[in-house]
Structure 1
């Protein structure tokens, strides 16, 4: 798992960090095959019920389009990433991050130029985060961590990632916090619980064998739940 419209409520592009949080060392597990999917989530956002959906679809030329959308009557969030498989690793090509809370809007775009070796951001980006960042092999944007967590748990790999997102670099590390039984679409499933702590922010993801994305993603700030996504179905 990275899922800020505001510093309190906007999900960190991950996990995230479903967070946020984030989220990657990009050594690809040979047994993990990327396949299209649509995952519907029951979401709690800004203290209200919301609808959430993640999708992964082919984008041509060994590329994939991955998206997360959350909306309720007060707010909407949309995060999208195009990434490719290259040399056995995943790397982002472009991404967008838009949000709306009442009348406040935010819209950001990123381009990952691997030929030049830099990432650039445009749109509603803070001035101190507008400068290009030098890329390294294995860098990912936050949203891709959702997929990488599932891949790396399955392969038994370290859950440590270098996230290049929103005009900054962050080292992300998830710890396995045991297993728990959770409900997925009304059925009980055994899940591996993963936790990332970053100051006053925390992202928790539950990974279920055979499910392409985390079955649940919880983002917390100052000890309070900010966003909670629970899978209801995966097609």
Structure 2
């Protein structure tokens, strides 16, 4: 499961990059129709490298995604990622390597042969998790929310559209949020972005008209 937000990793950067700052965000989550705990963290790993992680846990499942990326001349580009899940007794673990020197991305672990790559990289490419950060930055910068997603052994074009303003509860306080939406066949990702918050205040993934994953922020520190 990759959380695809056209929060799609923050990119297409030509304007000066916004400062990156570490944070920890706690979420109230809903997964498979059950309540869960969610946590996002951004941690500095030295130099221009950062690790961005999302974890969701409840009685049925444990899901974890982690992306290491670098700030390269104002562009945030993925270097590696890990994606693991345990749903009841079923386990899955995948990993990705984004080799910018060779210009290709490859995948290993529990992946099908036709999803292992290599896929040729282009400037501005992102993975699904990093797109969460990108939406926030690009909306603030007034840039188009259009991203080339290179993830899970394939390439997709994600185009988020602004769908107006809505009131949203953040830690019990009502805040105004900008709603952005990406539709891909029967899948839809909706994100609510609040001024001054480094990640979406809410992320909702829907499939076939039904809610699949719903993350609502409780606190950011």
Is the structural similarity TM-score above 0.5? yes
8 Å CA contact 1:25, 1:162 repeated in 2: no
8 Å CA contact 1:189, 1:208 repeated in 2: yes
Distance 1:137 1:159, change over 3 A: same
1:144-159 matches, within 5 Å, as 144-159=130-145
Q: Report how far residue 164 of structure 1 moved.
A: 0.5
Residue 142 of structure 1 corresponds to 128
8 Å CA contact 2:10, 2:132 repeated in 1: no
Is there any run of 5+ residues in structure 1 with no aligned partner, and where?
5-11
Q: Does 1:177 align with 2:163?
A: yes
- SS of 2:182's equivalent in the other structure is strand
Residue 219 of structure 1 corresponds to 205
Q: Does 1:37 align with 2:27?
A: no
Distance 1:229 1:127, change over 3 A: same
TM-score (norm 1): 0.91
8 Å CA contact 2:108, 2:116 repeated in 1: yes
1:1-235 matches, within 5 Å, as 4=1, 12-15=2-5, 22=8, 25-27=11-13, 29-30=15-16, 32-235=18-221
8 Å CA contact 2:149, 2:155 repeated in 1: yes
- Distance in 1 (CA, whole Å) between partners of 2:71 and 2:17 is 14
- SS of 1:148's equivalent in the other structure is helix
Bigger mean CA deviation after superposition, 122-131 or 78-87? 122-131
Residue 8 of structure 1 corresponds to none
- Distance in 2 (CA, whole Å) between partners of 1:162 and 1:171 is 5
Calculate the aligned-residue CA RMSD, in Å. 1.3
Count of matched residue pairs: 221
8 Å CA contact 2:27, 2:37 repeated in 1: yes
Distance 1:202 1:103, change over 3 A: same
Distance 1:31 1:166, change over 3 A: closer
Q: Report how far residue 230 of structure 1 moved.
A: 0.2
Q: Report how far residue 13 of structure 1 moved.
A: 3.7
Query: After TM superposition, which residue ranges in structure 1, 4 or more long, deviate above 3 angstroms?
Result: 22-25
Q: Report how far residue 14 of structure 1 moved.
A: 2.2
TM-score (norm 2): 0.97
- Distance in 1 (CA, whole Å) between partners of 2:177 and 2:15 is 20
